[in-house]
Homo-oligomer: A and B are copies of this chain.
Amino acid sequence: MSTTSTTERILEAAIELVSEKGYAAATTKSIAELAGVNEVTIFRHFGNKRGILKAIIEKFSYGPILQKTIQLEVTYELQDDLLLFSEEYLRYMFSIKDFVLIGFREAGSFPEIDEEIANIPRVIKEELMKYFMEMQRREKIMDIDVEPIAMSFIALNFGHFISAARLGSNVTTIDLTELLRTSVIIFSRGITP
């Protein structure tokens, strides 16, 4: 037997299958098979199929990780800070990539997921706005409403994430770090007074 707990193995299998095929198409039988567990064991652990997804949501919605991720060491050098943020953001998003995918897929049938997914940009927006306001105080960026600035920067990074995660090299062969560098340069110049 493997070292990880049964519950954990079932969850991992479920995450993989649901993110790949969707909730309905990921049968309890296939999940059990991938987890190397008898199908009955799933029901003993989670009650019913919905229970698996509820457990997945709980597992990922452990928010503090996100909070920690964005609180980086700021130097108040605009370009450096934004690049660091972008890199950290993408690292985080890739670490929860499967969950984001599940979120986009099953939001209709599981409203709780929508809640969690929407929470990510909300938290990030607040943090970014604080940073931009401080930068305005130091007169290092333009003096306009910081919320659309923050939203735009998030949109930019999120766009890169989806592009890399779902389209891969189907659209461009430029690697992600290179793309990030360019877009951060553009954005920094764009909000510098």
Do B167 and A156 have beta carbons less than 8 Å apart? no
Q: From DSSP, what is the main secondary structure of chain A's interface residues?
A: helix
Q: How large is the interface on A (under 10, 10 to 19, 20 to 34, 35 or more residues)?
A: 35 or more
Interface segment, one of A46-54, A64-72, A174-182: A174-182
- A 146-176 to B, binary, CB cutoff 8 A, 1 in contact else 0: 0111011011111110110011001110100
Within 8 A of B (CB), among A80-115: 104-109, 114
Do B149 and A160 have beta carbons less than 8 Å apart? no
Tell whether A144 is near chain B: CB-to-CB under 8 Å. Answer: yes
Q: Which residues on A are within 8 Å of B, measured CB to CB?
A: 20-25, 104-109, 114, 117-118, 121-122, 125, 144-145, 147-149, 151-152, 154-160, 162-163, 166-167, 170-172, 174, 178-179, 182-183, 185-191
